[in-house]
Amino acid sequence: MLVFGDGTQNDYRILVSRAQHRPQSDLYAFNVKDVIPSFSLPLQTGDSKPLVDLQSLLTEIYDRASYYLVIDYNQEPVSRWLERDTGWLDALLREKVYGN
């Protein structure tokens, strides 16, 4: 599916395509620093569209699974696109690990 945008670069994208509107779709683009946007999930025609809040879902999974206990946040991240966000990422991890 071709996706046309304004030329901005984003770390992540969610593409939602409703059968009755194809080939048009909704694009939700965001960066690693952003809150993941909520979006309505298309179901069958006539059904109500539930709102999907991926940010809350992922945060709850992270907390319930206690990933903060098993992930070594002292390791350098292995991803080239994070280089531009190193300061932000370091501050976020320090807050999560040390509470400051």
pLDDT by residue for the chain (100 residues), tens only, comes to 556 666 678 888 898 888 778 888 888 999 888 999 999 988 877 788 899 999 999 999 999 999 888 888 777 766 655 667 777 877 887 887 777 6
Report the 3 state secondary structure along the chain. Answer: CCCCCCCCCCCEEEEECCHHHCCCCEEEEECCCCCCCCEECCCCCCCCCCEECHHHHHHHHHHHCCHHHHCCCCCCCCCHHHHHHHHHHHHHHHHHHHCC
Whole-model pTM?
Answer: 0.67
Q: Please count the residues of the chain.
A: 100
